[in-house]
Structure 1
Amino acid sequence: MREPLPPAPSHPPSFDDDFAGGLDTAKWIPHYLPHWTTPERSEARYGVTADGLELRIEEDQLDWRPEDAPLRVSNLQTGEYSGPLGSHRGTHRHRPDGLVVRTETPCRLMFAPHRGRIDITVSAGADERCMLAAWLVGTEHLSELDSGEICVFEIDGSAVGPTTSARTGIKAHHDPRLSTDMAEVQLPFDAREAHTWTVIWGDGETIIGCEGVVLRRILQAPDYPMLLLIDLFEIGRASGSYPKAATVRRVTAWTS
């Protein structure tokens, strides 16, 4: 029998959004790591539906960076930071080819907790070229070492069916205090159905769960400000019908 997740805190959340009023720009930036590229390439495509905010990849959407083509992404994130134009300073230096700031962005940390609990309710898509993901990434505005990532989930459309597989865990990136620990987990349902992921981190431990049960306990946790990113990728040449979509239904967080 799987271990149940701890109950959510009894006090009111510090962050809660079901997108009923549309995209709240006091909570979300609808761009993917905009400092590493240009606005027309980083800007998300999305629509508000009765179920929440639908991230979309559309046929005329540009690649995130020409160097990464073919790769398109629609993303929401809860802050941004970069160094000066032409520098290598900025949140999430995740590419090995030497990212350079192309659009200088001010430091805006609208939601960047050190620790806490976040519940993310989503519905994935099943397009084989797409991936729905949620990450917490170190802001790096205080130190370049604060670059670790908690991968709450990565769901490939090709892995969605009557049961679903997903990747989850920790990626150290440039933080020597962490070690990368990723694993594939099996979900006993079709991820196109609405389902809730949970991450709880702090005091040297990260717990990742889904639908009320613990999937992973990892004996390490970043301890610095982290931004939340939720995104839909299309990887590979454009094909099939558009728009390709996945829905973010609600995000609720408690911090301490």
Structure 2
Amino acid sequence: MTRELVFEDTFDGDRIDESKWIARYLPQWTTRDRSAARHRLGDGLLRLRIEENQPPWCPDLEGELRVSSLQTGVYAGPVGSRVGQHGRGPDAVVREAQTPARLYTPRYGLIEMRARATDDPHSMVALWMIGYEDVPERSAEICIAEIFGRDVRPGSARIGMGVHPFADPRITDDFTVETLPIDAREFHVYAADWTPDHVSFFVDGDLVRTVHQSPDYPMQLMLNIYEFEPHGPYPKEFTVDYVRGYR
């Protein structure tokens, strides 16, 4: 099958390309300062970082969780409403107004990333997709790769992949954690081929599993590193060589 490259970031510049990414994590539920990504670019690599002086993302909703994240869209209702992407339950309300943005919100295609994870046991890195959620039911997630540092070993790693429904009644939760014979601290290519009737997940070009269901609406990319509780050493880094999307 011939594919057309429609989205690519090889991180060759010295700053985040704002035509492709919003350098914040779900900013509607918190503040711009708390949602802002800590990062460095150089040598053609993006390093998303958790730094020692970084504030928690939203303490009253998620405690000490700290996040550095890029996303390719944002949608939220007015301040005080509960309308917004990837909500956090009844206590989550929009705290700062957001300008709707759809920088890259494909409907089907192949998404891939070349990256290396961290083995920090208090951290997790991920590339995932969420519905743009301009309609509440368009809220499912496709998790392309989710890697907890505690699951990274020199000769193996446990990689999470699959779909979550959230408020989409047509999707059934189908998520697994697969043990693969790779050192995730080195560069590997993680990908998902999203079609109208299934999503297939690959690592280094090898098919790992297929989910036989599929969200049928536009979704945006989420690329991030999390720290669940403060614990050095710092900084903690998620290093990404490229992200690509094909139609």
Q: TM exceeds 0.5?
A: yes
TM-score normalised by L of structure 1:
0.92
Partner residue, 1:13: 5
Q: 1:92 aligns with which of 82, 86, 95?
A: 86
Which residues in structure 2 correspond to 1:139-218 (within 5 Å)?
139-141=132-134, 143-162=135-154, 163-218=156-211
CA distance in 1, matches of 2:215, 2:139: 9
TM-score normalised by L of structure 2:
0.96
Counterpart residue type for residue 131 of structure 2: G
Moved over 3 A (4+): 9-12
Partner residue, 1:76: 70
Counterpart residue type for residue 34 of structure 2: R
CA distance in 1, matches of 2:207, 2:67: 29
Partner residue, 1:235: 228
Counterpart residue type for residue 9 of structure 2: D
**1:135 Cα offset (Å):** 0.9
**1:183 Cα offset (Å):** 0.5
CA deviation map 1:133-174 (0-9, x unaligned): 111000111x10000000111100111112100211100000
CA distance in 2, matches of 1:136, 1:239: 28
Look up the SS of the partner of 2:34 in the other structure.
Answer: helix
Partner residue, 1:30: 23
Partner residue, 1:250: 242
CA distance in 2, matches of 1:175, 1:38: 27
Instruction: Structure 1: give runs of 5+ residues left out of the alignment.
Output: 1-8
Partner residue, 2:38: 45
CA distance in 1, matches of 2:129, 2:237: 21
Q: 2:120–2:150: 8 Å Cα contact kept in structure 1? A: yes
**1:11 Cα offset (Å):** 4.6
Look up the SS of the partner of 1:35 in the other structure.
Answer: helix
Counterpart residue type for residue 136 of structure 2: E
Determine if the alignment matches structure 1 residue 137 to structure 2 residue 117: no
**How many residues end up aligned between the 2 structures?**
244
Look up the SS of the partner of 2:5 in the other structure.
Answer: coil
**1:97 Cα offset (Å):** 4.6
CA distance in 1, matches of 2:45, 2:203: 19
Task: Tell me the percent identity.
Answer: 39
Partner residue, 1:6: none
Q: 1:199–1:206: 8 Å Cα contact kept in structure 2? A: yes
Counterpart residue type for residue 86 of structure 2: H
Q: 1:138–1:146: 8 Å Cα contact kept in structure 2? A: yes
Q: 2:44–2:241: 8 Å Cα contact kept in structure 1? A: yes
Q: 1:51–1:247: 8 Å Cα contact kept in structure 2? A: no
Counterpart residue type for residue 150 of structure 1: I
Q: 1:92–1:139: 8 Å Cα contact kept in structure 2? A: no
Instruction: Structure 2: give runs of 5+ residues left out of the alignment.
Output: none
CA distance in 2, matches of 1:38, 1:207: 36
Counterpart residue type for residue 170 of structure 2: R
Look up the SS of the partner of 1:98 in the other structure.
Answer: coil
Look up the SS of the partner of 2:246 in the other structure.
Answer: strand
CA RMSD, aligned part only? 1.1
CA distance in 2, matches of 1:203, 1:217: 13
